[in-house]
């Protein structure tokens, strides 16, 4: 099976699981079923992956966690790719002072390690909802994409088909939309696919630090955080969530590689 | 060379200046200010909060605050911690050697494993071992670093007792050890966190190294080396690998931000008293001057790391020397 097919298959399976989570999850992921007898219960028929410290069903939390992780990954990347591509287009197309200023901002954004940027923003945010988290991840994640987009614009700008379109009287908007954007899309699509996995990793890290998805909502990072101190007595809690993250990020990495092979003939 | 380094240093100063501006904007773009959580406490009088706001200059217009902020940063004044009763600079000074040690050890493991695996794969593309290693490197690239740390800590710290599970030194025996014993104790504590961070990075490095190796082997000088009858081992080891290492050295500079992001998580897992854990702890206590101070210092480290990688590339690659 080609990489692209494997990637598409894995990602589609994950997406289906995330979409139908409410139908297949045996319990409500936030309900504390029985604090007296069901805390940290080992896997059983009633609870295939066991329960956590608050007697919540882990399988249900894991399934709903897939929803939140994928939602955050996809939407945050949608934001960062739109912003990054626009900034890259503007910088590469206009050149001059605008280009210099924008690229210095990008340099600075890339110089601050991502988690530190996020901590700075989150330090002052009172109530972080999932929507706020998506916004923060999206609007701090576009620096790399804008560099890719700008580099592509710079090389596309010099091509004959752009000169031809310009000679035929195409304005800058038409030039960008009809001629440049379609020709620079390939590396951006690849970066976006790989980006989804990386955002999921970052979100898990933030949730692990206690500043990501607000509890009691299930997120894979939250589940690992909950299970951290129980790794001796109830190792299944953080193990299953960790494996879910690895599987998901691997799926997007394979898909990204597959898309790259498809779009860039040199990679074959 | 000196002129080149000075030029790159000047660029670095510009980047740091923009970073300072960016953090200022980020701080002020968030809803509420540093004292919002204090103001929401029921037993804090509003007058007290107002007074603190005035003392911190938060009542001034934004441009005045920005100029003051820049001035303080220029003097190396990162503010005062809201919870530690000392300056942010003092807290960071204590933490930074631990982070640099961890980051350098991790970088060594990262490139040691990543370059060997990637170079081997690139020399034997599409072989069975290449495919196996690809599966391994994709997995490493996709593992949450804090989870990898937890697993290693559980296996090698809590089950096998091979390595200590927390801190930089043994709190009981360290003061009584000899000089060499102290170094050994520190190294013993360093193994698991550095391995965690290094392994997580090695996946990406190997992928890059594999691509660079495949490209180098396709070059003319490799054909020449083969044509003159050199043994394959020499062709690959001496001619191809040397050239394939150049992009990897440049990559070391780019790996620095990810490495420092990783320290936040790994230091938290292993209770390693460095810059990342300082920031992670501070965010739980809403100690924002520590968080922004740590972010600024992390950015400065990245800029210096990039500079070092650029200089190393220039030394290693004669083609980048200016014609004279």
Chain A residue numbers with beta carbons less than 8 Å from the beta carbon of B286 are: 123
- Whether A36 is in a domain gets the answer no
Residue A245 forms contact with B (CB below 8 Å): yes
Q: Mind telling me how many Å the CA of A139 is from chain B's nearest CA?
A: 11
- Whether A45 is in a domain gets the answer no
Least confident of A6-10, A82-86, A122-126, A189-193: A122-126
- Please answer yes or no on whether A115 and B264 come within 8 Å at the CB atom: yes
Query: What torsion, rounded to 10 degrees, do the Cα atoms A212, A217, A223, A228 define?
Result: 70
- Among the listed residues A36, A54, A17, A43, the one whose alpha carbon sits nearest the alpha carbon of residue A235: A43
Strand-pairing partners, residue B259, are none
- Among the listed residues A206, A201, A207, A212, the one whose alpha carbon sits nearest the alpha carbon of residue A223: A207
Residue B261 forms contact with A (CB below 8 Å): yes
- Whether A43 is in a domain gets the answer no
Residue B95 forms contact with A (CB below 8 Å): no
Best probe of the A interface among B134, B146, B203, by most A CBs < 10 A, is B146
Question: In this structure, what DSSP letter does residue B170 have?
Answer: -
- Whether A170 is in a domain gets the answer yes
Best probe of the B interface among A10, A65, A113, by most B CBs < 10 A, is A113
- C-alpha B124/C-alpha B133 separation (Å) is 11
Rounded mean pLDDT of A51-74? 88
- Whether A37 is in a domain gets the answer no
Each residue's pLDDT tens digit, A209-235: 988 898 888 899 999 998 888 888 888
Best probe of the B interface among A115, A133, A224, A237, by most B CBs < 10 A, is A115
Mean pLDDT, chain B, rounded, equals: 86
- Whether A224 is in a domain gets the answer yes
Number of domains in chain A: 1
Best probe of the B interface among A120, A204, A244, by most B CBs < 10 A, is A120
Chain-centroid distance, C-alpha B162: 26
Tokens of residue A246, six digits: 């690895």
Q: Which residue of A has its CA nearest to B300?
A: A111
pLDDT at A267: 54
Each residue's pLDDT tens digit, B69-83: 888 888 888 888 878
Tokens of residue A157, six digits: 């700008």
Each residue's pLDDT tens digit, B133-187: 999 999 999 999 999 999 999 999 888 888 888 888 887 887 888 888 888 888 8
Task: Evaluate the omega torsion of the peptide bond into residue A216 and state whether it is cis, within 30 degrees of 0.
Answer: yes
- Reported confidence tier of residue B324, pLDDT bands at 50, 70, 90: very low
Residue A205 forms contact with B (CB below 8 Å): yes
A8-41 in b/e burial notation, b at 16+ Cβ within 10 A? Answer: bebbeebeebbeebeeebebebeebbeeeebbbb
Nearest CB to A123; choose among B22, B141, B291 = B291
Tokens of residue B130, six digits: 């290449």
Dihedral sign for Cα atoms in the order B266, B270, B274, B279: positive
Look up tokens 């559980």; give the residue: B154
- Write down all domains in chain B, each with its CATH number in brackets: 101-276 (1.10.3720.10)
Residue A121 forms contact with B (CB below 8 Å): yes
pLDDT at B272: 92
Each residue's pLDDT tens digit, A145-165: 999 999 888 888 888 888 888
- C-alpha A205/C-alpha B264 separation (Å) is 9
Residue A104 forms contact with B (CB below 8 Å): yes
Q: Look at residue B306 and tell me whether its pLDDT is greater than 80.
A: yes
Structural domain harbouring A227: 2-21+56-267
Nearest CB to A208; choose among B256, B265, B284 = B265
Considering A23-37, A111-125, B41-55, B220-234, the range whose residues carry the highest mean pLDDT is A111-125
- Please answer yes or no on whether B23 and A120 come within 8 Å at the CB atom: yes
pLDDT at B76: 82
A143-171 in b/e burial notation, b at 16+ Cβ within 10 A? Answer: bbbbbbbbebbbebbeeeebeebeeeebe
Chain A residue numbers with beta carbons less than 8 Å from the beta carbon of B158 are: 231-232
CATH classification of the domain holding A180 = 1.10.3720.10
- C-alpha B285/C-alpha B15 separation (Å) is 29
């Amino acid at each position: 099976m080609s990489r692209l097919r494997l990637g598409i298959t894995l990602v589609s399976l994950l997406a289906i699981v995330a979409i139908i989570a409410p139908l297949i999850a045996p319990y409500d992921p936030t309900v504390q079923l029985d604090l007296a007898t069901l805390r940290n219960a080992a896997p059983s028929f009633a609870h295939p992956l066991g329960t956590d410290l608050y007697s919540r069903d882990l399988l249900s939390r894991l399934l709903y966690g897939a929803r939140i992780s994928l939602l955050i990954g996809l939407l945050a990347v949608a934001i960062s790719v739109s912003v990054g591509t626009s900034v890259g287009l503007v910088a590469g197309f206009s050149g001059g002072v605008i280009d210099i200023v924008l690229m210095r901002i990008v340099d600075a954004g890339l110089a601050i390690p991502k988690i530190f940027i996020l901590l700075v923003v989150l330090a002052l945010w009172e109530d972080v909802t999932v929507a706020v988290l998506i916004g923060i991840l999206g609007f701090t994640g576009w620096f790399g994409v804008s560099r890719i987009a700008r580099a592509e614009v710079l090389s596309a700008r010099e091509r004959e088909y752009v000169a031809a379109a310009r000679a035929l009287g195409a304005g800058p908007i038409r030039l960008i939309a009809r001629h440049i954007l379609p020709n620079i899309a390939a590396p951006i699509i690849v970066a976006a696919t790989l980006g989804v996995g990386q955002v999921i990793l970052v979100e898990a890290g933030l949730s692990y630090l206690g500043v990501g998805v607000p509890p009691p909502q299930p997120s894979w990072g939250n589940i690992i955080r909950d299970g951290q101190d129980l790794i001796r007595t109830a190792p299944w809690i953080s193990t299953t969530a960790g494996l879910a993250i690895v599987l998901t990020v691997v799926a997007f990495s394979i898909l990204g590689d597959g898309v790259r092979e498809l779009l860039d003939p040199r990679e074959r | 060379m000196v002129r080149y380094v000075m030029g790159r240093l000047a660029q670095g100063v510009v980047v740091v200046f923009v970073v300072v501006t960016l953090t200022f904007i980020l701080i002020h773009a968030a809803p509420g200010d540093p004292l919002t959580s204090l103001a929401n406490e029921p037993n804090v009088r509003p007058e007290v909060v107002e007074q603190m706001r005035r003392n911190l200059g938060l009542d001034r217009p934004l441009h005045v605050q920005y100029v003051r902020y820049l001035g303080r940063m220029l003097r190396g004044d990162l503010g005062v911690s809201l919870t530690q009763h000392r300056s942010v600079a003092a807290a960071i000074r204590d933490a930074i050697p631990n982070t640099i040690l961890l980051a350098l050890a991790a970088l060594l493991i990262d490139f040691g494993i990543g370059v060997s695996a990637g170079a081997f794969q690139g020399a034997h593309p599409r072989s069975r071992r290449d495919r196996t290693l690809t599966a391994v490197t994709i997995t490493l690239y996709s593992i949450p670093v804090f989870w990898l740390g937890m697993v290693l800590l559980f296996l090698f710290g809590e089950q096998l007792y091979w390595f200590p599970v927390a801190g930089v030194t043994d709190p009981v025996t360290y003061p009584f050890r000899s000089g060499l014993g102290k170094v050994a104790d520190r190294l013993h504590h360093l193994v698991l966190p550095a391995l965690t961070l290094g392994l997580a990075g090695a996946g990406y490095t190997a992928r890059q190294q594999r691509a660079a190796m495949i490209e180098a082997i396709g070059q003319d000088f490799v054909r020449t080396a083969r044509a003159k009858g050199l043994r394959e081992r020499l062709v690959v080891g001496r001619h191809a690998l040397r050239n394939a290492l150049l992009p990897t050295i440049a990559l070391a500079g780019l790996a620095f931000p990810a490495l420092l992001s990783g320290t936040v998580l790994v230091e938290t897992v292993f209770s390693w008293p460095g810059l990342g854990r300082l920031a992670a702890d501070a965010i739980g206590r809403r100690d924002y001057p520590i968080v922004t101070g740590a972010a600024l210092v992390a950015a400065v480290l990245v800029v210096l790391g990039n500079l070092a990688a650029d200089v190393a590339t220039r030394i290693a690659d004669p083609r980048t020397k200016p014609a004279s």
